[in-house]
């Protein structure tokens, strides 16, 4: 009797399992998607020379947690796995393989740095895994889409930004004698070349000196001295944050007070505040931006800045200072959530790419007010607007702000 | 004779295991096993110059960079078959090794070590200067993609071939000359061994091994070569592997290679470490390296030696004659 | 009987000899004099040259103090300490923490030196001593492990984003005859020279200093006269760590921010300086460090084809290799005695 009952129970169990598996099998979910979750992941530098960008993935995680607490994406919670690659492509590759093959993520989201993204692009495209909203301003992500249809960037590209500085100098500073400091690699040269072509033939004669530096050098003192000696009165920096801070402080210390242009990735309020504290005079430094400045007097009490601070207080605890890197993370994550919402239900990888290639988003709370994110089958650059901003030191909490001025530049790519 | 047969049997068994292994491994673990192979080759090369010839090099990352860029550039610009680039890497790295080794033979000890360090730091910088060929910090990718099983097969085939090469070099006349240089330069010179010739030769062979390892390293990085991959830390990793392997033993090298390849995985999966969000991996890796050195200061080679001594002592005590040592 | 007499009786005479001799030969001294004259003439002719020279000396004195730390450890343990840069970086973070807690810069500075000293002794006793006599390579690897460990701990506690410390010398600038000099540069030079002098006095004129030198150079003989050699070697590590801390604390005001990677390039140049000076020679390390700093600064401005910033490191090392080929044991080193 007992045996018989056992057998019946066993048979019933088998039948049950069979029906359950066939039911889920029929749905055929993409990897990383379950009835309750969507798993995405990315690689970021938490250590090494680019570790100062680690605020970005932490802000992104904070926004995903906030979305999860408010019901998730079509009822699914976002699970965000991030790994530290130290900005070294030979580490990015195995970590990305791990994300795809072991963690089985739905998409590689927000991975940071040109070289790390280049190193994994062919692999992810071969596996048809979306590599989306990568955090680098090179233009490959928007131009190479025929060969790499699963990759897309987000932010305005570096050449577009450089051309805006050139335009501004041509029209507003006729007496400019331009001195340029640039990093001696593709990043710096991309900026430099676009800047030169933006100046045009007549504008280029205004360049009195262009000095390069290497990231491994302990100091950029010699380069800054050389620019001063060359008689420059307009200082254009295409550099990374550590060198930027050094250069700005050294300029003040050697008694050089040019008009300063700082490229976007180095121009956060935190870096400017560091330069100020170290004795640099960076009042009035100009940059081109696209995300909201939470410290700007015009923005600090607006809904975007307030909500951003609220989210970061809740989920990225202990931060006392918010800057444009935090806003970058929130703005990028917001875009990702919008795309996931439109990626189908259940979401599919193809659906996600489709959603990202038909963006028409207004009202990202953390982009500069009025900026839009638009893409199409032929336009793979989500954010293509920039506005110039001037640094004013000493806002709330002792930190300054970049206050936008002038018109908005559209279609910067 | 029996000893040689025994070793051949061990080699054959190892070959069979390595040939069958990939079919039980997931894709990720195939890559990991391929990494073991490439570190095996690099450490083997370093062992030839350090363990057998007594010259310390901490710049083998430089030769790996030379090999890696050879593969990437030949494939990207000239569409050379990837396998065909490997002997080329071997040859070019050998040439560079000789060019470096010739003046380096004047230096010894720490001076040589730091001269090679200078090389390891300079080579990635030079790729920035010659960006037309190397793509500077944006790197350069091989033509086409690299499959896991292919990578595994090629890496271990290279490892096997180079293992035999190392064995042939070290067991003969050349190997005796190397060891003579290591044990006493004056004695070696007075018995007719050319110090410059053999020091340079050892450096060249060692560099050639590193070159092939560098090619495989780039292939294991999705075929993407970029200067940041060849930072000074790569050279230090190879050195750690050589220390764990122990100097002067071909068999310890496998353990050293596995240690270096698995170190990131060990440190990622350490339970306590996972609760440390940033820096945990570095802490774990550092602790593991320090602990291993405290426990095995002479590496696996030292451990094997001690085990062999203990075993023969045991046999002697129980009256079994010990096998002749060949 | 004084310690000096004891050593005299045991035949350790070269300890005394080292007090005067720097190991430099006549050509090397001539080279140095020529270099100094060149810098002086150049500085008089061009204010840019003078500014670059001053800031080069400041940068070089940071290399020098770290190079000196390497030399101290090399003399005590016969290994190159790869963790020297990260030890300096870690102790600078400790100083940063003190300033966050409200200590003044200089209070934090000296508190940190004390902590660095204790940490150096602890490192030697805990992880170096057990492997020291077994294998030189093992000691080197242990220092590499320490490098990674310290990196990780700093990232864990303070994170990778840059931190700010108040400037020790203020932000003012001097103008001397058209030459602009920042107080930071002058302060950097003054502090590193003061540190080197204090250390030199200690080693030359105290019994403890003598015992430490003896332990490094003639451990067996030192043990015979009752010197506790192991503790002396540990103290050597302590001094090296403190000296490294000075270089870290001087690097921060030169780079204006504190970051976990800040000492990595400095360490590479410090290695070069130590080797150039001859590894066993403190004087050599200091002079080579300063020379390297000035050389790099001037190379960038007047180097012609070689002034490309990507070539700075390779050119510096090419010069180093050339020197080594002519003098395989460095400018101030003694020719190694080969044992048969």
Q: Which residues of C touch A181 (CB under 8 A)?
A: none
Q: Which residues of A touch B122 (CB under 8 A)?
A: none
Identify the CA nearest to C199 among candidates C12, C6, C64, C331: C64
- Give A265's DSSP letter: G
pLDDT tens digits, residue range B53-99?
888 888 899 999 999 999 999 999 888 899 999 999 999 999 999 99
3-state class of A359 per DSSP?
A: coil
CB contact under 8 A, C161 and A246: no
Cβ neighbours of residue A72 closer than 8 Å, sequence gap 6 or more: A78
Q: Would you say residue A14 lies in a domain?
A: no
Within-domain flag for A232 = yes
pLDDT tens digits for range B129-166: 887 788 778 889 988 888 899 999 999 999 999 999 99
Contact across the interface for A185 and B136, Cβ inside 8 Å: yes
What does DSSP say about strands A131-134 and A151-153: parallel, antiparallel, or unpaired? parallel
Which of A94, A140, A182 is the best mutation test for B, with the most CBs of B within 10 A?
Answer: A94
| Chain A residues touching C55 at Cβ < 8 A | 219, 221-222, 225
Residues of C in contact with B180 (CB under 8 A): none
Three-class SS state of A46: coil
Q: Which residue has the tokens 């005001």?
A: C253
d(CA A128, CA A56): 26
CB-nearest partner of B289 from C148, C154, C271: C148
Do A173 and A265 lie in one domain? The reply is yes
Question: What whole-number distance in Å separates Cα of residue B207 and Cα of residue B48?
Answer: 10
A319 by DSSP, 3-state: which?
Answer: coil
DSSP string, B118-185: HHHHHHHHHHHHTHHHH-GGG-EE-SS---HHHHHHHHHHHHHHHHHHHHHHHHSHHHHHHHHHHH-H
What span, in angstroms and rounded, lies between the C-alpha atoms of B325 and B303?
18
Spatial distance between the Cα atoms of B255 and C257, rounded to a whole number of angstroms: 42
* pLDDT for res C1: 42
pLDDT of res. B247: 79
What distance, in Å, lies between the first and last C-alpha atoms of chain C?
37
B138, B222, B278 ranked by CB distance to A186: nearest: B138
Contacts of C300 in chain A (CB under 8 A): 222-223, 226
Q: Is residue A5 part of a domain?
A: no
Q: Do A274 and C257 touch (CB under 8 A)?
A: yes
A317-322: which pairs have CB atoms within 8 A and are 24 or more residues apart? A320/A397, A321/A269, A321/A270, A321/A273, A321/A397, A321/A399, A322/A294, A322/A295
Residues A401 and A269 in one domain: yes
**Chain B residues with CB inside 8 Å of C273's CB?**
none
* CATH code of the domain in which A225 resides: 3.40.50.2300
CA distance C300 to C312: 7
Q: What is the DSSP letter of A291?
A: B
Residue A251 lies in a domain: yes
Q: Which of A212, A223, A278 sits opposite C167 (nearest CB)?
A: A278
Q: How far is CA A93 from CA A69, B31, B33, in A?
A: 32, 11, 15
Mutate one of B189, B199, B227, B286 to test the C interface: name it (highest C CB count within 10 A).
Answer: B286
Alpha-carbon distance of B17 to B37, in angstroms, equals 14
Substitution target from B134, B226, B267 for chain A, most A beta carbons within 10 A = B226
Q: In a 3-state reduction of DSSP, which class is residue A58?
A: helix
Instruction: Give pLDDT, residue C88.
Output: 95
Q: Where are the beta strands (DSSP E) in A64-129?
A: 77-84, 107-109
Q: Pick the closest to residue A290 from A324, A259, A326 (CA basis).
A: A324
Q: Which two tokens stand for residue A120?
A: 């994994």
For residue A397, the model assigns a pLDDT of 55
CB contact A120 to B (< 8 Å): yes
What are the DSSP calls for C38-104, one per residue?
HHHHHHHH-HHHHHHHHHHHHHHHHHHHHHHHHHHHHHHHSS--TTHHHHHHHHHHHHHHHHHTT--
Contacts of C314 in chain B (CB under 8 A): 122, 125-126, 129
Enclosing domain of residue A218: 159-289+388-409
- Chain B residues touching residue C268 (CB < 8 angstroms): 117, 121, 232
- Which pLDDT belongs to residue A318? 67
Contact B231, B117 (CB under 8 A): no
- How far is residue A337's CA from residue A339's CA, in Å, rounded to a whole number? 5
Give the tokens for residue C100.
């966050």
Q: Searching chain C, which residue's CA lies closest to the CA of residue A249?
A: C256
Which residues of chain C fall short of a pLDDT of 70?
1-24, 334-340
Pair type for strands A360-362 and A234-238: unpaired
Please check whether residue A118 is in contact with residue A148, taking contact to mean a CB–CB distance below 8 angstroms: no
Q: C309 CA to chain A: closest CA distance, Å?
A: 5
CA distance B296 to chain C (A): 9
Q: Do B125 and C314 touch (CB under 8 A)?
A: yes
Length of chain B: 326
Can you list the residues of chain A whose pLDDT is less than 50?
1-4, 7, 10, 14-26
Three-state secondary-structure class, residue A211: strand
Is residue B318 predicted with pLDDT exceeding 80?
no
Interchain pair A47, B279: CB under 8 A: yes
Identify the three-state secondary structure at position A80: strand
Contact B137 A185 (CB under 8 A): yes
Closest approach of C40 to chain B, Cα-based (Å): 30
Distance from CA of B263 to the nearest CA of C (A): 12
Measure the CA angle with vertex C49, ends C43 and C51; round to 5°.
95
What is the pTM (predicted TM-score) of this model?
0.88
Nearest CA in chain A to B68: A90
- Asked if residue A324 belongs to a domain, the reply is yes
User: Beta A401-409 vs A386-392: how paired, if at all?
Assistant: antiparallel
Distance set, CA A344 to CA A27, A30, A340, C43 (Å):
13, 11, 8, 71
Q: How many CB pairs under 8 A join B and C?
A: 155
By CA distance, what is B54's nearest residue in C? C137
Q: How far is it, in rounded angstroms, from Cα B241 to Cα B51?
A: 13
A404 and A267 within one domain: yes
* Cβ neighbours of residue B3 closer than 8 Å, sequence gap 6 or more: B323, B324, B325, B326
Alpha-carbon gap, residue A226 to C297, rounded angstroms: 11
Write out the H or E segment, with its range, that includes residue A392.
strand A386-392
What is the residue whose two structure tokens read 């250390």? Answer: C199
Q: How many CB atoms lie within 10 A of CB C197?
A: 10
The Cα of A119 is separated from the nearest Cα of chain B by a number of Å equal to 6
Residue B221, pLDDT above cutoff 70: yes
Distance CA A176, CA A199 (A): 11
Residue C119, token pair as written in the block: 């940490």
Asked if residue A399 and residue A257 are part of one domain, the reply reads: yes
Which of the 8 DSSP states describes residue C330? -
Distance of CA A328 to the CA centre of its chain: 6
Whether the CB of B322 is below 8 Å from some CB of chain A: the reply is: no
Query: Which one of A88, A94, A101 has the shortest CB-CB distance to B228?
Result: A88
Which chain B positions have a beta carbon within 8 Å of A214's beta carbon? 125, 128
Q: Is the dihedral of CA A328, A331, A335, A337 positive or negative?
A: positive
Is the Cβ of B269 closer than 8 Å to some Cβ of chain A? no
Asked if residue C241 lies in contact with residue C86, where contact means CB atoms within 8 angstroms, the answer is no
Average pLDDT of chain A is 88
Q: How many folded domains does chain A comprise?
A: 2
- Partner-chain residue, chosen from B126, B187, B294, that has the shortest CB–CB distance to C130: B294
Peptide bond preceding A346: is omega within 30 degrees of 0, i.e. cis?
A: yes
- Report CB contact under 8 Å: B282, A47: yes
A131-134 and A360-362 as β-strands: parallel, antiparallel, unpaired? unpaired
Which residues are A213's β-sheet partners?
A: A183
- Please tell me the distance in Å from B141's CA to the nearest CA on chain A: 8
CB contact under 8 A, C80 and B110: yes
Helix and strand element counts for chain B (H, E): 14, 2
Distance between CA atoms of A304 and A321, rounded to whole angstroms? 16
- Is the ipTM reported for this complex over the cut 0.85? yes
Q: How far apart are CA B262 and CA B251, in angstroms?
A: 18
pLDDT at C20: 39
User: In sequence order, what are the residues at sequence separation of 6 or more whose Cβ sits closer than 8 angstroms to the Cβ of residue C84?
Assistant: C66, C69, C70, C73, C143, C240, C244, C267, C270
pLDDT score for A54: 86
Segments in chain C forming alpha helices (H): 3-9, 14-17, 26-45, 47-77, 84-100, 105-123, 129-132, 136-158, 183-205, 207-217, 219-224, 229-255, 263-277, 282-302, 312-326
A29 is a domain residue: no
């Amino acid at each position: 009797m007992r045996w018989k009952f056992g057998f019946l129970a066993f048979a019933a169990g088998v039948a049950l399992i069979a029906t359950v598996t066939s039911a889920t099998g029929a749905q055929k979910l993409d990897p990383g998607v379950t009835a309750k979750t969507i798993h995405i992941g990315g690689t970021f530098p938490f250590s090494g020379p680019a570790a100062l960008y680690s605020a970005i993935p932490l802000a992104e995680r904070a926004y995903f947690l906030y979305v999860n607490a408010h019901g998730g994406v079509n009822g699914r919670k976002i699970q965000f796995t991030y790994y530290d690659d130290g900005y070294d492509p030979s580490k990015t590759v195995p970590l990305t393989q791990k994300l795809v093959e072991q963690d089985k993520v739905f998409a590689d989201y927000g991975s940071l740095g040109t070289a790390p993204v280049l190193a994994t692009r062919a692999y992810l495209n071969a596996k048809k895994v979306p590599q989306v909203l990568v955090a680098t301003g090179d233009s490959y992500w928007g131009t190479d889409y025929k060969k790499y249809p699963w990759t897309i960037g987000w932010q305005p590209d570096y050449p577009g930004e450089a051309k805006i500085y050139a335009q501004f100098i041509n029209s507003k500073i006729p007496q400019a004698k331009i001195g340029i400091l640039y990093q001696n690699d593709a990043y710096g040269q991309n900026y430099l070349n676009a800047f030169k072509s933006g100046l045009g033939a007549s504008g280029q004669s205004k360049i009195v000196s262009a000095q390069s530096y290497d990231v491994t050098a302990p100091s950029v003192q010699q380069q800054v001295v050389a620019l001063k000696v060359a008689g420059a009165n307009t200082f254009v920096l295409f550099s990374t944050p550590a060198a930027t801070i050094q250069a700005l402080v050294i300029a003040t210390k050697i008694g050089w007070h040019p008009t300063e242009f700082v490229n976007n990735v180095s121009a956060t309020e935190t870096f400017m505040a560091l330069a100020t504290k170290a004795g640099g005079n960076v009042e009035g430094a100009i940059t081109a931006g696209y995300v909201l400045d939470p410290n700007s007097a015009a923005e600090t009490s607006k809904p975007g800045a307030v909500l951003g601070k609220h989210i970061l207080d809740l989920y990225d605890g202990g931060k006392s200072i918010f800057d444009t890197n935090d806003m970058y993370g929130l703005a990028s994550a917001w875009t990702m959530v919008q795309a996931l919402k439109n990626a189908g239900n259940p979401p599919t990888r193809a659906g996600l790419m489709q959603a990202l290639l038909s963006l028409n988003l207004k009202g990202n709370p953390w982009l500069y007010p009025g900026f839009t994110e638009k893409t199409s089958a032929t336009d793979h650059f989500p954010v293509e607007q920039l506005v110039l901003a001037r640094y004013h030191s000493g806002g709330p909490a002792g930190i300054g702000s970049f206050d936008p001025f002038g018109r908005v530049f559209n279609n910067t790519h | 004779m029996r000893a040689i047969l025994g070793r051949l049997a061990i080699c054959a068994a190892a070959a069979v295991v390595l040939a069958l292994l990939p079919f039980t491994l997931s894709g990720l673990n195939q890559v990991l096993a391929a990494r073991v192979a490439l570190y095996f080759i690099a450490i083997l090369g370093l062992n030839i110059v350090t363990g057998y010839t007594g010259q310390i090099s901490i710049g083998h990352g430089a030769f790996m960079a030379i090999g890696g860029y050879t593969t990437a550039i030949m494939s990207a610009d000239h569409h050379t078959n990837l396998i065909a680039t490997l002997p080329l890497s071997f040859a070019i790295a050998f040439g560079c090794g000789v060019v470096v080794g010739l003046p380096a033979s004047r230096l010894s000890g720490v001076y040589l070590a730091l001269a090679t360090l200078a090389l390891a730091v300079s080579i990635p910088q030079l790729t920035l200067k010659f960006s037309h060929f190397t793509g500077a910090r944006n790197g350069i990718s091989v033509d086409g993609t690299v499959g896991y099983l292919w990578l595994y097969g090629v890496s271990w085939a290279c490892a096997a071939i180079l293992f035999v090469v190392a064995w042939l070099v070290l067991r003969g006349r050349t190997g005796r000359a190397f060891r003579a240089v290591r044990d006493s330069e004056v004695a070696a010179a007075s018995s007719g061994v050319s110090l410059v010739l053999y020091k340079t030769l050892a450096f060249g062979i060692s560099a050639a091994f590193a070159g092939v390892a560098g090619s495989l390293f780039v292939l294991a990085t999705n075929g993407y070569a970029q200067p940041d991959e060849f930072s000074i830390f790569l050279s230090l990793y190879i050195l750690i592997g050589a220390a764990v392997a122990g100097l002067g033993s071909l068999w310890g090298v496998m353990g050293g290679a596995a240690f270096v390849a698995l170190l990131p995985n060990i440190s990622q999966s350490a339970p306590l470490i996972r609760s440390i969000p940033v820096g945990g991996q570095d802490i774990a890796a550092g602790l593991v390296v320090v602990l291993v050195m405290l426990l095995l200061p002479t590496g696996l080679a030292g451990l094997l030696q001690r085990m062999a001594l203990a075993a023969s002592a045991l046999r002697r005590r129980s009256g079994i004659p010990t096998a002749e040592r060949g | 009987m004084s310690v000096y007499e004891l050593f005299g009786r045991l035949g350790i005479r070269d300890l005394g000899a080292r007090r005067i001799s720097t190991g430099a030969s006549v050509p090397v001294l001539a080279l140095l004099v020529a270099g100094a004259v060149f810098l002086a003439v150049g500085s008089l002719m061009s204010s840019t040259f003078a500014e670059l020279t001053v800031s080069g000396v400041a940068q070089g004195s940071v290399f020098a103090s770290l190079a000196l730390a390497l030399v101290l450890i090399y003399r005590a343990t016969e290994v190159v300490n790869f963790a020297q840069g990260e030890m300096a970086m870690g102790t600078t973070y400790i100083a940063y923490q003190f300033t966050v807690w409200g200590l003044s810069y200089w209070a934090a500075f000296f508190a940190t030196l004390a902590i660095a000293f204790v940490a150096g002794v602890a490192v030697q006793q805990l992880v170096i001593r057990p492997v020291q006599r077994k294998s030189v390579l093992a000691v080197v690897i242990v220092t590499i492990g320490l490098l990674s460990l310290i990196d990780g701990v700093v990232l864990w506690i303070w994170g990778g984003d840059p931190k700010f410390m108040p400037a020790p010398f203020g932000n003012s600038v001097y103008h001397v005859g058209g030459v602009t000099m920042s107080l930071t540069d002058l302060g950097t030079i003054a502090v590193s020279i003061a540190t080197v002098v204090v250390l030199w006095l200690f080693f030359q004129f105290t019994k403890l200093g003598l015992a430490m030198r003896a332990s490094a150079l003639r451990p067996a003989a030192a043990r015979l006269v009752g010197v506790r050699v192991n503790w002396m070697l540990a103290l050597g590590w302590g001094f090296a760590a403190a000296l490294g801390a000075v270089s870290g604390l001087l690097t921060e005001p030169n780079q204006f921010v504190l970051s976990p990677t800040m000492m990595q390039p400095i360490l590479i140049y410090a290695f070069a300086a130590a080797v150039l000076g001859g590894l066993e020679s403190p004087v050599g390390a200091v002079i080579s460090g300063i020379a390297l700093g000035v050389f790099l600064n001037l190379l960038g401005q007047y180097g012609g084809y070689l002034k490309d910033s990507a070539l700075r490191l390779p050119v510096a090392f090419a010069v180093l290799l050339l020197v080594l080929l002519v003098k395989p044991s460095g400018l101030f080193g003694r020719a190694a005695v080969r044992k048969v």
